[in-house]
Amino acid sequence: MLKRLLLIVIMMAFTFSYIDIANAKEKTNLKIASKAAVLVDSSSGQILYGKNPDKKLYPASLTKIATAIYAIENGNLDDMVTVSKAAEETDGTRVYLLEGERVTLKHLVQGLLINSGNDAGVAIADYLCGDVPTFAEKLNEFMVDKVGVSNTHFVNPHGLFDKNHYTTASDLAKITDYAIKNPTFREIFGTKELKWNGKGWHTTLITHHLMLKGEIPYPGITGGKTGYVDQSGQTLATTAQNNNIHLTVITMDAKTKKDEYQDTKQLLDYGFTHFKTSELPEDTMFKYGNKIFKTSEKLLYTSPLHASVSERISKNGVLEIVDKSGALLKSFQLSEQKVMAAQSAPSKKKTEKSKHNPWILMMPIILIGFGVFWSVKRIKNKKKG
């Protein structure tokens, strides 16, 4: 039985080793054509794959993800916005707003994300901040203070080229993951089509994202945004989920649409095949010596889909999640809990009683010795009989 159990353990260890090797091999075999790309666990924020993740590049219309979440959080979506002349005259992709037209802020956000309306972006900027430069200043502050970006600078709400308008794949993933936590943004970001009855345009808006609208079929797509200007190349933001994990993929500066969608499919396949989101519930306790540490909220982290992980706590309360090889997956700073003296040590009264009554401590030993003596005596008596 022991030999059989040992064999099973060895087989399991071999299986996990093989999966890890296959994981590493598949990761290095990913052929990503885009100049920069990231695959991120949308829930934990962990980057699962990166190619030039911190390289500053031009985002084109992926800028509108930032504009949309800023508008949703800082404006009243039911407010009526009067379209300015500057908005009507905006270049590029539009929803054909007319000067003086009145549109709800929510409808502008829908036109911004679903049809990539540059004019909708300017109308939003004018409504919220009076003009585009002031809006850009406020947007940058929001991105740093609320989202936590570190290599992003926007000068407009739509992404038309400007040499000072840049971001990175990792920052765009942060922006997207922040935005999709908002239910209104998430709904619009995942909208495939919408009736548009504008003063200058009556149509049905259809998302430009080929995976979201089903032209390139892929199960589990939850949202997407496309972008292109000559200087940026093809840019693409995609979110998707299955029962194990919710993923975000950002690709930047692809030469063709075919490249960016192939890159996205490869990265989603890789993420769904190898990872899952795990959690530690709020108020989970960990002990280090006499210290007790506790999670103050639910903690999320990414773990291998087919391998186990373990937890270790430091004397300073840093909880580390490690894989079977000991490699660090994620760390969290936990709060230390005060332990009552009565719980951590015997009372003074009990200690003194034990000190002055040694027979209490000796009693179990005496009883055991007496029992052994009695048993031996009975055996001897039986032999004599």
Other Cβ atoms closer than 10 A to 228: 21
Check if the beta carbon of residue 210 is closer than 8 Å to that of residue 238.
no
Q: 3-class SS at 65?
A: helix
Q: Annotated catalytic, 64?
A: yes
d(CA 339, CA 347): 14
Among residues 34, 43, 44, 116, the one annotated as catalytic is 116
Count Cβ neighbours within 10 Å for each residue of 17-33 and write b for 16 or more, e otherwise: eeebeebeeeeeeeebb
Backbone dihedral angles phi then psi of residue 193, each to the nearest 5 degrees: -155, 155
Q: Annotated catalytic, 375?
A: no
Among residues 34, 43, 44, 61, the one annotated as catalytic is 61
DSSP conformational letter for 60? G
Q: Which of 130, 4, 1, 128 is nearest to 66 (CA)?
A: 128
Side chain identity at residue 328, one-letter code: L
Calculate the alpha carbon distances from 21 to 11, 16, 125, 307 in Å: 15, 9, 50, 12
Check if the beta carbon of residue 56 is closer than 8 Å to that of residue 168.
yes
Other Cβ atoms closer than 10 A to 280: 18
Among residues 34, 43, 64, 84, the one annotated as catalytic is 64
Q: Annotated catalytic, 116?
A: yes
Side chain identity at residue 297, one-letter code: E
The full DSSP string for 196-248 is: EE-SS-EEEEE-S-TTTTTSS--TTEEEEEEEEETTTEEEEEEEEE-SS-EEE
Check if the beta carbon of residue 64 is closer than 8 Å to that of residue 236.
no
Calculate the alpha carbon distances from 293 to 288, 313, 319, 334, 336 in Å: 8, 9, 9, 6, 4
Q: Looking at the annotation, which residues are catalytic?
A: 61, 64, 116
